[in-house]
């Protein structure tokens, strides 16, 4: 059976409880309270139960605490994935969206996410899910609101002549 990992001694149990009370991170507080219980001489299995973990997990947190101190007991958030389009490609994509589709080349009169997905795949060789296209558009400053569609053969002169005009009162 492996020996228990020694807990650093530069913090007392009351120091750890004070840090737990002042922490804004609930998980860090639970871990600090478990370590305080260990320093008070409680069995490691019971101390782990105080923090809602098992003995092995408590051992892992003891190691992090020994290396990094109380800040090492905070959760580490994931950084997110690496962007698949470069800044230059995003700029080019923004210009494509801004200029709008060419009916002859693109086969559509206004951009939809599925169309933009196809354009990104053809021009940049990057495959995105259709939902991710909306996130990309928001990231580069576009909103989901679109202009009212107009028929390409619509003539302004014909519309003006057809409007009903009421006499002025």
Q: Over the Cα atoms of the chain, what is R_g?
A: 31
- Given a cut of 50, whether residue 65 has pLDDT beyond it is yes
Question: Looking at beta carbons, which pairs linking 57-62 to residues 24 or more positions away fall under 8 Å?
Answer: 58/34, 59/4, 59/5, 61/31, 61/34, 61/35, 62/5, 62/7, 62/35, 62/38
3 state SS of 42:
coil
Mean pLDDT of the chain: 90
Among candidates 78, 65, 60, which has minimal Cα distance to 39?
65
Q: Where are the domains of the chain?
A: 13-73, 87-145
- Given a cut of 50, whether residue 74 has pLDDT beyond it is yes
The Cα 143–Cα 146 span in angstroms is: 8
What percent of the chain lies above the pLDDT cut of 70? Answer: 96
- Given a cut of 80, whether residue 76 has pLDDT beyond it is yes
The Cα 14–Cα 8 span in angstroms is: 14
Give me the mean pLDDT over the 16-33 stretch. Answer: 95
Read off the pTM: 0.53
Model confidence at 147, pLDDT cuts 50, 70, 90, reads low
pLDDT of residue 67: 95
Give me the mean pLDDT over the 83-108 stretch. Answer: 93
- Given a cut of 80, whether residue 2 has pLDDT beyond it is no
What is the Cα 90 distance to its own chain's centre?
A: 18
């Amino acid at each position: 059976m492996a020996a228990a990992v020694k807990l650093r001694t530069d913090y007392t149990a009351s120091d750890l409880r004070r840090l737990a009370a002042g922490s804004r991170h609930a998980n860090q507080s639970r871990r600090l309270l478990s370590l305080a219980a260990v320093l008070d001489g409680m069995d490691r299995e019971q101390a782990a139960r105080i923090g809602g973990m098992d003995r092995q997990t408590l051992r892992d947190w003891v190691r992090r605490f020994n290396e990094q101190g109380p800040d090492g007991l905070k959760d580490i958030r994931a950084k997110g994935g690496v962007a698949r389009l470069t800044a230059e490609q995003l700029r080019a994509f923004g210009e494509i969206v801004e200029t709008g589709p060419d009916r002859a080349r693109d086969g559509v009169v206004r951009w939809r996410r599925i169309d933009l997905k196809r354009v990104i795949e053809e021009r940049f060789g990057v495959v995105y899910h259709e939902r991710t296209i909306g996130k990309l558009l928001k990231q580069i400053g576009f909103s989901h609101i679109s202009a009212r569609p107009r028929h390409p053969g619509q003539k302004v002169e014909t519309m003006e002549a057809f409007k009903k005009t009421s006499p002025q009162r």
